[in-house]
Amino acid sequence: MNFQTSSKTQEDIMKKSHDILRTTEDIFYREIAREWLEYSEFRLKESSYAKYRSIMNKYLLPAFGNDCISQLTTDRVAEFLKNLRAQETKTIRKRLSPQYINGILTVFRETSYYSTSRGFPFPCNFRYLSQKTEKKECSVFTHEESRRLASYLLEDVDLYKAGILLCFFTGIRLGELCALKWEDIHLEEQMLTISHTMQRLAVTDIGGQRTKIVITAPKTSSSKREIPLPDFLFEIVKKFYCSEKEAFF
């Protein structure tokens, strides 16, 4: 008999038996939140998990961690969102955008779904809590600004200028450029393959909060794509080719 497995099974049974006796009035949000984070760690992409954990630690646990589930009413959450709208970020003294606040609300809603599945439904009605967002106009270069930038980049081209030119003329994102490898640049086909992106993620270790750089697949399958390189751009990129280097930079 495997005593370790038996012991684990007994622990699970005791935990479930204990939960049956509990109600929304004696289980705290912090318990549900931590369980949900543990559950989500293996279900989400690393970048999404890092974002959700940051939101949890920065906003949700300080606000609701010591509240019982029964206290998480619509009015209570609405007051929290009102305070968020008036709050300024410490770094740039700028108020949180409605989009970001909706992101915080999304994480809170996910924990409510998990809590309901555990038999502890939130008394909060999320239907009336989403923040109204306005679509911002995208700022783009004028024709003259584009001409001046291209003229500067094409003069005495180094590897960094070549990277900016790739972004400028192909539309690849900065994270995609940073993750670019020479194996993604097909010299014979004069083609560029985008299959990865680079991100800086917040991580928590013994020494406190730190960041790390990770290279992952793009967020959506449509972000994986092949891009033909114009002749002039292909000739620039080819000058920097080095068979001994793996990364473009």
pLDDT 10s digits, 174-213:
999 999 999 999 989 999 999 999 988 877 654 565 788 8
How far apart are alpha carbons 203 and 49 in whole angstroms?
A: 10
Alpha helix locations (H) across 87-230? 98-117, 143-153, 159-170, 174-178
Q: pLDDT category, 132, cuts 50, 70, 90? A: confident
Whether the per-residue pLDDT at 246 is higher than 80: the answer is yes
Whether the per-residue pLDDT at 14 is higher than 90: the answer is no
pLDDT of residue 128: 82
The SS3 assignment for 210 reads: strand
Provide mean pLDDT across the span 67-88. 91
Contacts of 171 (CB under 8 A, 6+ apart): 227
If we measure between CA atoms, which residue out of 164, 196, 167 comes closest to residue 180?
196
Task: State the CATH class of domain 9-128.
Answer: mainly alpha
Q: pLDDT category, 228, cuts 50, 70, 90? A: very high
65 with 111: CB under 8 angstroms?
no
Percent of the chain clearing pLDDT 70 (strictly above): 86
73: amino acid identity, one letter? T
Domains in the chain: boundaries: 9-128, 143-239
Give 124: exposed, middle or buried? Use CB within 10 Å, 0-12, 13-18, 19+.
Answer: buried
pLDDT of residue 7: 54
Q: In degrees to the nearest 10, what's the CA dihedral of 52, 96, 99, 164?
A: -90
pLDDT of residue 153: 95
**Strands 225-228 and 191-194, bridge-based pairing:** antiparallel
pLDDT tens digits along 143-168 = 999 999 999 999 999 999 999 999 99
Contacts of 28 (CB under 8 A, 6+ apart): 65, 66, 67, 68, 69
pLDDT of residue 52: 93
If we measure between CA atoms, which residue out of 192, 220, 170 comes closest to residue 48?
220
pLDDT tens digits along 103-119 = 999 999 999 999 999 99
pLDDT of residue 139: 83
Whether the per-residue pLDDT at 5 is higher than 60: the answer is no
Q: What Rg do the C-alpha atoms of the chain give, in angstroms?
A: 25
Alpha helix locations (H) across the chain? 3-20, 29-41, 46-55, 61-64, 74-86, 98-117, 143-153, 159-170, 174-178, 231-239
